[in-house]
Amino acid sequence: MRVQQKVQQQGFTLIELMIVVAIVAILAGVGMPAYQNYTKKAQFSEVIGATGAYKTGVEICLNLTDKESCDAGTNSIPTAITSAATGSFVKSVAVSDGVITATATGASGATYTLTPAIDNGLVSWTKGGNCKDGGYC
């Protein structure tokens, strides 16, 4: 006949807890820079989105007149944004000779440019600016 003994339940040892804390710290160290880069890209998407109305205006202008007549505030193109609204990530948007230049607020000050090209009445856009250097666009 066997005698059953009660087995006491034990918790984790100190070394096991230290290993778990170390693993969490390593994961946080890798994850935080990736998350910060993601938020910068998400904020810059507001700058890219702000050019939408200007692209439409420039396309209309280019179908009606020549490129040199396509400036902000003329020929169906909205007026330029010259200062950032509270809470906005768009510092400015300007249009000169059909070229759209948008600038972000903050330390990056990244720019996003769109240059139009017309081929048989179709407008295509070439993206540029220093936003590529920071990986924002």
Most confident of 7-11, 35-39, 76-80: 76-80
The pTM of the whole model exceeds 0.75 = no
Give the closest residue to 78 by CA, choosing from 64, 65, 94, 91: 94
Per-residue pLDDT reduced to its tens digit, 80-135: 888 877 778 888 899 998 899 998 887 577 889 999 988 887 889 988 888 777 77
Strand ordering across the sheet containing 99-104 = 90-96, 99-104, 111-119, 122-128
pLDDT confidence tier of residue 41, bands split at 50, 70 and 90: confident
Q: Is the CB of residue 97 less than 8 Å from the CB of residue 114?
A: no
Give the closest residue to 95 by CA, choosing from 109, 113, 111: 113
The first and second tokens of residue 61, run together, are 């202008």
Per-residue pLDDT reduced to its tens digit, 61-74: 888 888 888 888 88
- The per-residue pLDDT of the chain, averaged, comes to 84
Give the closest residue to 91 by CA, choosing from 106, 72, 71: 106
Give the closest residue to 40 by CA, choosing from 137, 114, 128: 137
Q: Tell me what percent of the residues of the chain surpass a pLDDT of 70.
A: 92
Domains, the chain, in order of start with CATH, read: 14-134 (3.30.700.10)
Please check the confidence at residue 79 and state whether its pLDDT lies above 90. no
